[in-house]
Amino acid sequence: MSDRTEIQEIFNRIAPVYDRLNDRLSFGQHRIWKQMAVKWSRAGSGDLCLDLCCGSGDLALLLAREVGTRGKVFGLDFSVEQLAIARSRNKPFTSKLSPIVWREGDALDLPFADNYFDAITMGYGLRNVLDIPRCLQELHRVLKPNASAAILDMHRPSSPLMRQFQQWYLDYFVVPTAQMMGLTEEYAYISPSLDKFPTGKEQVALAHKAGFVKATHYPIAGAMMGVLVLKKV
Ligand SMILES: C[S@@+](CC[C@H](N)C(=O)[O-])C[C@H]1O[C@@H](n2cnc3c(N)ncnc32)[C@H](O)[C@@H]1O
């Protein structure tokens, strides 16, 4: 994917089937990985939280459960179609969740004040932004001192065997499944995006450069993905 509009269009196009495909492609496991990211973000009761690149809102909804009615959650994405689905899933007056503010915006230029959030999550977003260092700087800027962020994403595993398995899974399961829903190109981009995406170790180095003193990458799912946990001091 080369430019911002192209990325936006892809995520707008896949919005109607995105949740169904996630469940199918991960055998429902993405729900567990997202819960892990929320725990690692250390979001708690009464907190003000951000889910960056929120898409259809899975992580924002999990955050809302953690912060309760005294807290508040923002979900930010630049795909209007994904945000429309997120809005339809969050009915503030019929649930005990905190209200979620769905905001159209750019992860590279966040519309929030410095030192604003108690916790931030980001799921499968960092690999899709055009400028990873800039995104990490923005995350650092809007986090409060002592607050944490948890960034969940796929990456290439270091073990050659697991790399082979990941490629097989992408070529023979992910792309054909997406193809059945008329979305071949939209999912074929995952493999080249993984080739460009930093490894866990590289993500930690980029986080340090962005100003995070504490950065740890936890590999999960056979090291085919991981959670980068950041703390601002
Ligand atoms: C793979 S989806 C992940 C959605 C959701 N976080 C999840 O885990 O299901 C990536 C999301 O990142 C959003 N995105 C990519 N680049 C962005 C940017 N620069 N600013 C805001 N959103 C962006 C896309 O619109 C898309 O909804």
Residue identifier of the C-alpha nearest atom 7 of ligand 1: 123
Compute, in angstroms, the gap from residue 185 CA to the centroid of ligand 1. 17
121 Cβ inside 6 Å of ligand 1:
no
Phi and psi torsions of 106, nearest 5°: -110, 130
Alpha-carbon distance of 54 to 198, in angstroms, equals: 21
19 Cβ inside 6 Å of ligand 1:
no
The CATH code of the domain that includes 220 is 3.40.50.150
Compute, in angstroms, the gap from residue 123 CA to the centroid of ligand 1. 8
Residue identifier of the C-alpha nearest atom 16 of ligand 1: 129
Compute, in angstroms, the gap from residue 30 CA to the centroid of ligand 1. 15
Compute, in angstroms, the gap from residue 165 CA to the centroid of ligand 1. 25
State the pTM of this model. Answer: 0.95
Q: Which domain holds residue 227?
A: 4-231
Give the burial class of 68: count Cβ atoms within 10 A of its Cβ; 0-12 exposed, 13-18 middle, 19 or more buried.
Answer: middle
Atom of ligand 1 nearest to the CA of 108: 19
Residue identifier of the C-alpha nearest atom 26 of ligand 1: 55
Whose CA is closest to 74, among 111, 47, 49? Answer: 49
Please, what is the end-to-end C-alpha distance for the chain in angstroms? 34
DSSP string computed for 162-213? HHHHHHHHIIIIIHHHHHHTT-HHHHHTHHHHHHHSPPHHHHHHHHHHTT-S
- Residue 8 is predicted with a pLDDT of 93
Phi and psi torsions of 214, nearest 5°: -110, 125
74 Cβ inside 6 Å of ligand 1:
no
DSSP string computed for 30-52? HHHHHHHHHHHHT--TT-EEEEE
Compute, in angstroms, the gap from residue 76 CA to the centroid of ligand 1. 8
- Residue 147 is predicted with a pLDDT of 98
- Residue 90 is predicted with a pLDDT of 76
- Residue 93 is predicted with a pLDDT of 52
- Residue 186 is predicted with a pLDDT of 86
Phi and psi torsions of 229, nearest 5°: -105, 125
Compute, in angstroms, the gap from residue 5 CA to the centroid of ligand 1. 13
Tell me the HSE value of 132 on the side-chain side, using a 13 A CA sphere: 20
Contact 73, 67 (CB under 8 A): yes
What residue ranges of the chain have pLDDT lower than 50? none
Compute, in angstroms, the gap from residue 125 CA to the centroid of ligand 1. 5
- Residue 99 is predicted with a pLDDT of 78
41 Cβ inside 6 Å of ligand 1:
no
Angle at 124 between CA 123 and CA 127, to 5 degrees: 135
Number of domains observed in the structure of the chain: 1
